[in-house]
Amino acid sequence: MIPVGRLAAIVFTSGSTGVPVGHEKTWGALAERSRAAGLRFGLAEAAPATVIGTVPPQHMYGFETTVLLPLHAAAAGWCGPTFFPEDMRAALAAVPEPRLLVTTPLQMSTLLRAGPGLPRLRAVISATAPLDAALAAEAEARWQAPVLEIFGATEVGSIASRRTLEGDAWATYPGVALAPVAEGVGITAPHAPAVPLDDQVEALGPDRFRLLGRRTDIVKLGGHRASLAGLNRILLGLDGVEDGAFALPEALEPLGDGAAAGGGGGAAAECRQHPAGVARQDGPFVPAAPHHPCPRLAPQRIGQAAAAAAIGPAGAVGRLRQRSGLMRPAGQSSIAMEHPCLPGHFPGNSVVPGVVLLEEILALVLAAHPGRVVIGLPQVRFLVPVLPGQVVEVAAGPVAGGIGFTGAVAGREVLRGRLELGSPP
């Protein structure tokens, strides 16, 4: 018997709202929450379900649904590939009913566009991003199964769920309750301390609430309040918009305030006129470029035209460089197909690993700063896959908190980040 208080995992936040923070998870808290999820989703010993997850287990959502749920509820987990739509379809066909598909809004949209229907599902579970009601309705109609959303965060784990088409109220898992804390509203659960939520919520009772948005996500303009998550949901629900996002300039300065890829100019006008669109739509809004149907290998989520608009002289990155004038060419890098890292990354469709690109970039930056060493890499973002043989033009220069760097292939930004230099020990 494993003691309920034993430390079972330390899970880190993504760092999207600051420096990644580790949160300790005890065995008792993880086990109780998994059992509660099993009750919520109707998993019964008489008819064990099979969980097919498209989310990696190192993500808290994937960890809870594809690892812990099969351990503590009447369910088995699929361990095969689920990367491409055909992988998902084959996995579902290979397992017995009842089947639970655990996925994300982006992967759900890709699967719907990929063609034929799916083997019969008991339910579809979604998380990680706002789910548009129109997408949920299409999925329910095509797959003849309810689409459910999970609410949670790395800090607290999964705590509530809802059926998207039944309204915006969330119901907490059995044993989980809302409770007032010094920071606002928190949650209490078995074998876990009361934890404050990083989200603003409206309590509708001890076990129901309405989500208003993250406390760091609320924007106000002209007397109106809205959350970036809510604005993103509106943006993605517009006809002709395939993908897009609003972002606070402080959080993601090089991308401007909004970027979207769509099928026509009408969506841009509708977005700017929407009554809830209180955040300034100041980024590129362009026709979508052709892209690979698999999101993880897409040339860029918002399309090549959006990237060109963003990094060109009139785009957000171009404006940033014109203001600072600090980025200077640092050199070029190209990884040949013969590099030993490429045959398995990925077979038949090689992509240069991010760690290899970083190694090349750090060498170029250090060459311009003799006698210095890298002591930190607080920020790095890979925007577009780099293929073998492509030449990456690297530029670097001083920014607040260190040395900023960016890499581009044929004028298209593929990565950016910031590193810290210090003296050798």
Domain borders along the chain are 7-213, 222-316, 326-422
pTM above 0.85, yes or no: no
Percent of the chain predicted with pLDDT > 70: 74
Cα angle for residues 355, 324, 18 (degrees, 5° grid): 50
pLDDT score of 276 more than 50: no
Instruction: Tell me the C-alpha distance between 157 and 355, whole Å.
Output: 29
pLDDT score of 255 more than 50: no
Per-residue tokens: 128: 């990680």
- Cβ contact 185:193 at 8 Å: no
- Cβ contact 66:52 at 8 Å: no
Instruction: Tell me the C-alpha distance between 125 and 68, whole Å.
Output: 15
* Res. 256 pLDDT band, cuts 50 70 90: very low
- 3 state DSSP class of 115: coil
Mean pLDDT of the chain: 78
pLDDT score of 285 more than 60: no
Phi and psi at residue 41, to the nearest 5°: -95, 10
For 122-177, write each residue's pLDDT tens digit: 999 999 888 889 999 999 999 999 999 999 888 788 999 999 999 999 999 999 98
Strands (E) in 206-313, as ranges, are: 208-214, 218-221, 224-227, 241-246, 258-262, 285-287
Per-residue tokens: 381: 């973002």
Lowest-pLDDT range of 124-133, 290-299, 351-360: 290-299
The confidence score (pLDDT) of residue 162 equals 96
Length of the chain: 425
Which of 115-124, 234-243, 304-313 holds the top average pLDDT?
A: 115-124
Instruction: Tell me the C-alpha distance between 42 and 192, whole Å.
Output: 24
The confidence score (pLDDT) of residue 183 equals 66
- pLDDT top residue among 122 and 229: 122
Locus of tokens 């088995």: 76
The confidence score (pLDDT) of residue 160 equals 94
Task: Give, in words, the CATH class of 326-422.
Answer: alpha beta
Which of 261-270, 319-328, 341-350, 403-412 holds the top average pLDDT?
A: 403-412
Per-residue tokens: 219: 């924007």
Four-way CATH pick for 7-213: 3.40.50.12780, 3.30.750.24, 2.60.40.10, 2.40.10.220: 3.40.50.12780
Helices (H) and strands (E) in the chain, counts: 11, 24
pLDDT score of 309 more than 50: no
When pLDDT is averaged across residues 287-314 and rounded to a whole number, the result is 42
- Cβ contact 66:37 at 8 Å: no
Spatial neighbors of 293 by CB under 8 A, at least 6 apart, are: 85, 110, 113, 114
For 66-112, write each residue's pLDDT tens digit: 999 999 999 999 999 998 888 999 999 999 999 999 999 989 998 99
- pLDDT top residue among 242 and 8: 8
Identify the helix (H) or strand (E) that includes residue 90.
helix 85-94
The confidence score (pLDDT) of residue 269 equals 53
Pairing of strands 123-126, 147-153: parallel
* Res. 27 pLDDT band, cuts 50 70 90: very high
The confidence score (pLDDT) of residue 252 equals 39
Instruction: Tell me the C-alpha distance between 338 and 388, whole Å.
Output: 9
Neighbour count for residue 193 (Cβ, 10 Å): 9
Report which of 354, 380, 388, 384 is spatially closest to residue 291, judged by C-alpha positions: 384
Spatial neighbors of 134 by CB under 8 A, at least 6 apart, are: 237
Per-residue tokens: 53: 């997850």
Please tell me what DSSP assigns to residue 93: H
